[in-house]
Amino acid sequence: MASQEMAEPLDALAPCSHARAESGCAVCKVWDVSVCAVLDASEPGSLQAIAEGVHYGKGETILLQGDAADAVYNIRHGTVCLYKLLPDGRRQIIGFRLPGDFMGLALPDQYPFSANAVEPVSACRFARSAFTSLVNDKPQLLHRLHEAATHELRLAQNHMVLLGRRTADEKVAAFLIGLRERWRRLGGSLVTIPLPMTRQDIADYLGLTLETVSRTISKLARSKMLLVVPDGVRLLDPGRIKALAAS
Amino acid sequence: MASQEMAEPLDALAPCSHARAESGCAVCKVWDVSVCAVLDASEPGSLQAIAEGVHYGKGETILLQGDAADAVYNIRHGTVCLYKLLPDGRRQIIGFRLPGDFMGLALPDQYPFSANAVEPVSACRFARSAFTSLVNDKPQLLHRLHEAATHELRLAQNHMVLLGRRTADEKVAAFLIGLRERWRRLGGSLVTIPLPMTRQDIADYLGLTLETVSRTISKLARSKMLLVVPDGVRLLDPGRIKALAAS
DNA sequence: CGTCAGCTTGACTCATCTCAACTAGGGTGG
DNA sequence: CCACCCTAGTTGAGATGAGTCAAGCTGACG
């Protein structure tokens, strides 16, 4: 589908493990916010030794629910959406992964969800077997993973409240505020929130339809709380949006 | 509220740490399905050494969102519901805990949710500090906790699909089938599903209203898929209910 | 025997969905 | 360069699943 995008320069690094000196942890912009930071990057037997750089074009599938789970990933650039499908095609996005996020905390035999690049993505790929033995070797890595898992669990619980008990307006407001906070931690702006995902993606994340998401954003724009800009929104009145997101 | 229920015989064991020979892990019916099973019960410095038996009457609050998280729990008997409240009182139940389940996988400074006994509950209480140092001592316990955390995460993700993308009928059917499976693993029946929680609890778990839950169950009963019995339902046609729960 | 909490059922409302038309921007090929 | 197409987004009008409000039922308990 978007395989032509794989032909971009980034891709050249992927199969070249010798190039890692320039592309490795030392120059990784998200190393310190990742699970990686718990191990010394230069240490032999570190994560870097088993990392493989991989790249995906916009719209490409990274992994598929039900496939053998033979790798875990750490996102370096781009945005990924994780989703589950019902047999009739209804989709629920269970989360977006931004740079620095880890994918594959649970290591069951099969992936319990699918993952898609919503914009061009580069990531570190760790073979499951090598990663598992590293985890067994390094208790601090297991500790860090557990921390990450419980953090995600808390996010998931918050999202359940959103899905089960909030109105469309509140859902959209909470989504924007939450995303702003995540971009901010990665050094992003406080006013302009990039929205690389489509309205359909947002809808499938919030348990709404794309029309409702569009209408709600238009409504917020009409009441001067935000401004719709290409590939994002600019918050004009974060206070009122936060109040809507109520928590 | 239900403090009079605390006067039942069970309660007598709680403050008596010497009685643990009869009440401890050796006689615990859920020991082998709990996180506890990873440590030898007789081993000095085991979980048993730091466990304290606690009991709660029906409706009693076990912990409150925002309170200092100074203990974790393992449920021995009874059913607990975990929930979050929005400022205006809307409630989302994020899960039910049955015998053998662990409460407090995440160990943040404050509980991220509240917990209520929906029927009389007895549990093992572990002081957070003692539990934390035990976890640091025993890597296999950390490993087990991580396993439990990722398991819960997967359940949470499934529940997000339910909350965001399923109809009322599907929600109720999936709830019943899921609960049946959990009771079954604890040695319960395959046809009669105990429902110790109220319709309101079920509604707050499924993102519905109590009226909708009641109507939906009535509808399933009218179409001969189940029979409503006191404090539960009896599945007459698990196949069709499973089909409704679709996944 | 009265009260009360939990549950059921009915009638009506409304937030969100569905279906559909229309617009805007980007890429492609003649 | 223009004509065309295609995807993403917006907006409107009408349908509907679930919510709201209200009445009544039932069993437990004092």
pLDDT in tens, A170-183: 999 999 999 999 99
Chain B nearest-CA distance from A55, in A, is: 26
pLDDT at A17: 41
Helices (H), A4-127: 20-23, 47-50
Helical axes A139-165 vs A168-185, angle rounded to 10°: 150
Q: Is the distance from CB of A91 to CB of A48 less than 8 angstroms?
A: no
A with B: how many residue pairs have Cβ under 8 Å apart?
113
Q: What are phi and psi of A42, to 5 degrees?
A: -85, -20
Topology, domain B163-245:
Arc Repressor Mutant, subunit A (1.10.10)
Residue linked to tokens 């499973």: B242
| Residue of A84, A165, A207 with shortest CB distance to B157 | A84
Q: What's the pLDDT tens digit per position in A77-100?
A: 999 999 999 999 999 999 999 999
Helix (H) or strand (E) holding A193: strand A192-194
Nearest CA in chain A to B165: A207
Q: What is the pLDDT of residues A197-234, one digit of tens each?
A: 999 999 999 999 999 999 999 999 999 999 999 999 99
Sheet with A61-63: strands ordered across: A61-63, A114-117, A80-85, A91-97
- Residue A78's contacts (CB-CB under 8 Å, 6 or more residues apart) are A56, A99, A117, A118, A119, A120, A121, A122, A123, A196
Q: Measuring from the CA of residue A210 to each C1' atom, give the nucleotide at the shortest distance.
A: D9
Task: Look at residue B43 in the predicted model and tell me its pLDDT.
Answer: 67
CATH of domain B6-148: 2.60.120.10
Of A87, A105, A246, the CB nearest to B87: A246
Domain map (residue ranges) of chain A: 6-148, 163-245
Q: How many H-runs (helices) and E-runs (strands) does chain A carry? A: 8, 11
- Closest residue, chain A, to B146 (C-alpha): A146
At B61, give phi and psi (nearest 5°).
Answer: -85, 125
B94 touches chain A (CB under 8 A): yes
Please report which confidence band the pLDDT of residue A3 belongs to, taking 50, 70 and 90 as the band edges: very low
**Near strand D (CB < 7 A), which residues?**
A 198-200, 210-211, 213-215, 217-218, 228; B 167-169, 207-209, 211-212, 230
Return residues 23-82 of B near A (CB < 8 Å).
Answer: none
Q: Is B152 on the interface with A (CB under 8 A)?
A: yes
Q: CA–C1' distance B229–D27 (Å)?
A: 13
- What pTM does this model have? 0.90
The predicted structure's pLDDT at residue A49:
86
What's the pLDDT tens digit per position in A193-204? Answer: 999 999 999 999
Give the one of A146, A154, A204 whose C-beta lies nearest to B146's C-beta: A146
- The CA distance from A147 to A153, in Å, is 10
- Cβ B165–A207 below 8 Å, yes or no? yes
Taking an 8 Å cut-off on Cβ atoms, the answer to whether B165 and A91 are in contact is yes
C-alpha to C-alpha distance for A241 and A237, rounded to whole angstroms:
7
Query: And the tokens for A202?
Result: 């947002």
What end-to-end distance do the CA atoms of chain A give, in Å?
40
Asked if B144 reaches chain A (Cβ–Cβ under 8 Å), the answer is no
pLDDT digits (tens, 9 = 90+) for B133-181: 999 999 999 999 999 999 999 999 999 999 999 999 999 999 999 999 9
The whole-number Å distance from B157's CA to C2's C1' is 48
| Token pair for B52 | 């304290």
- DSSP class of residue B165? H
- Cα–Cα nearest to A245, from A218, A225, A231: A225
Q: Does B163 touch chain A (CB under 8 A)?
A: yes
**Which among B52, B84, B28, B101 is positioned nearest to B204, based on CA atoms?**
B84
Q: Which of A86, A160, A247 sits opposite B163 (nearest CB)?
A: A160
Strands (E), B57-204: 61-63, 71-77, 80-85, 91-97, 102-103, 114-117, 121-127, 192-194
Question: Do B146 and A151 lie within an 8 Å CB cutoff?
Answer: no
Task: Show the low-confidence residues of chain B (pLDDT under 70).
Answer: 1-23, 41-45, 247
Assign A26 a pLDDT band (cuts: 50, 70, 90).
confident
Reported as a pLDDT band with limits 50, 70 and 90, residue A22 is low
Residues of B in contact with A143 (CB under 8 A): 142
B200 has a chain A CB within 8 A of its CB = no
